[in-house]
Amino acid sequence: MKIGILGATGAVGRQMLECIEERQLPVEELRVFASERSKGKKLPFAGQELTLEVVSQERLNGLDYVLGAVSNSLSKEYRPLVEKSGAVYIDNSSAFRQEDGVPLVVPEINGQDALDHHGVIANPNCSTAITLMALAPIAKLSPIKAVNACTYQAVSGAGMGGISELKDEVTALTKGESVEAKVFPAQIAFNVIADIGGPLENGYTTEEMKMQNEGRKILHLPDLLVTCTCVRVPVYRSHSIAVTVVTEEPVSVEAAENAIAAFDGDILVTDHTPTPLENSDKDIVQVGRLRRDLTNPNGLTLWCTGDQIRKGAATNAVQIMEYLENNK
């Protein structure tokens, strides 16, 4: 496999490198790309050092797969170059997720969709991927009609700047000093902020609407009803989601737990409540606190956690690449 990584110096790009090494993929060549200021610097990989390059048509040519961990604007800029190279572009940005002809894939759920690509495959939003990993086993028991979710999203979802802001605020506040929010809309230390993404006319945010739009596409349920509130919490890594799901027919708690326990990539937790801390730097989604929704006989409520940098982004992209390679 000849692989390229766009945005290799960022949190997701670095995690992609780790995932490729951990999964011992048959890598023939690996090229890492970043901005001009990083050109020539080194990144460790499998006991070697990879030299960072600037994206160019020449250096993309000859690759089999290109994994994108860059912004929407850069992804749109690089896409034509990747397509011209003949490589499959697996993109972590939101630029192409709703585009017709671009599969939106979580391999454990709809991996088959990846085989119908036309050169570009999209990775879903991190909260969407984690939530759907918990719901997909239930959907196999009875079609899902509606989802009500509240996310608890780690600061690293906003990049390294989010991590630094939380650290700096905690340090300042414990010294009695004042703080000024720069990355987030308000102070994040010792606080929660129900404001992620840009505001929309319907009162929701772009982040919240991703759950509906992406869930419909991945689950092949165009009429799926989703309402979501996305909340930033002072946690460094891993997102958590409280979810209530309504199915066409009643699904018992026992049946749902058995389905989740048997689903690849999920871990059912019954002896305690899963926490984001214990699930950080892991590829699995932990699901717990399954119970009957007291407002709807066809509803179940659950709690799930997942590492948004791994399964919510980097690992999922690498898994898509693996799926394509294994289904040639």
Taking only the tens place, the pLDDT of each residue in 106-153 is 999 999 999 999 999 999 999 999 999 999 999 999 999 999 999 999
- Is the pLDDT assigned to residue 256 strictly greater than 90? yes
The residue whose two tokens read 């979501």 is: 228
Helical packing angle, 11-22 and 315-326, nearest 10°? 40
- Is the pLDDT assigned to residue 159 strictly greater than 90? no
Domain of residue 241, residue span: 128-308
Are both 107 and 166 inside the same structural domain? no
Where does the pLDDT of residue 311 fall: very low under 50, low under 70, confident under 90, or very high at 90 and above?
A: very high
Are both 109 and 152 inside the same structural domain? no
Examine the residue annotation and report whether 126 is marked as an active-site residue of this protein.
Answer: yes
Where does the pLDDT of residue 239 fall: very low under 50, low under 70, confident under 90, or very high at 90 and above?
A: very high
Helical packing angle, 126-141 and 206-219, nearest 10°? 40
Give mean pLDDT, residues 229-253: 98
Reported as a single tens digit per residue, the pLDDT across 187-228 is 999 999 999 999 999 999 999 999 999 999 999 999 999 999
Phi-psi sector, 86: left (phi>0), alpha (psi -120 to 50), beta: left
Q: Which of 19, 126, 228, 230 is catalytic?
A: 126
Reported as a single tens digit per residue, the pLDDT across 42-101 is 999 999 999 999 999 999 999 999 999 999 999 999 999 999 999 999 999 999 999 999
Where does the pLDDT of residue 278 fall: very low under 50, low under 70, confident under 90, or very high at 90 and above?
A: very high
- The pLDDT, as a whole number, for residue 53 is 97
Are both 298 and 320 inside the same structural domain? no
Give mean pLDDT, residues 270-275: 98
pLDDT averaged over every residue in the chain: 97
Reported as a single tens digit per residue, the pLDDT across 163-173 is 999 999 999 99
Are both 144 and 248 inside the same structural domain? yes
Are both 292 and 319 inside the same structural domain? no
- List alpha helices for the chain, DSSP H: 11-22, 57-60, 72-85, 107-114, 126-141, 160-174, 206-219, 253-262, 276-279, 315-326
Q: In the beta sheet, which residues pair with residue 297?
A: none
Are both 294 and 185 inside the same structural domain? yes
Helical packing angle, 126-141 and 253-262, nearest 10°? 120
Are both 161 and 190 inside the same structural domain? yes
- The pLDDT, as a whole number, for residue 286 is 99
* Amino acid identity for residue 31 in this structure: R
- The pLDDT, as a whole number, for residue 25 is 95
Q: Which residues contact 218 (CB under 8 A, 6 or more apart)?
A: 104, 105, 106, 109, 110, 124, 128, 132
Binding-site sequence positions: 9-12, 37-38, 97, 153, 156-157, 232, 308
- Is the pLDDT assigned to residue 156 strictly greater than 90? yes
Q: What is the DSSP letter of 62?
A: T
Examine the residue annotation and report whether 272 is marked as an active-site residue of this protein.
Answer: no
Are both 102 and 244 inside the same structural domain? no
Are both 119 and 258 inside the same structural domain? no
Are both 63 and 153 inside the same structural domain? no
Q: How many domains does the chain have?
A: 2
Instruction: Tell me the CATH number at 49.
Output: 3.40.50.720
Binding-site sequence positions for phosphate: 97
Q: Do 4 and 67 contact (CB within 8 A), yes or no?
A: yes
Instruction: Tell me the CATH number at 246.
Output: 3.30.360.10
Are both 15 and 55 inside the same structural domain? yes
- The pLDDT, as a whole number, for residue 328 is 87
Q: Which of 117, 228, 230, 239 is catalytic?
A: 239
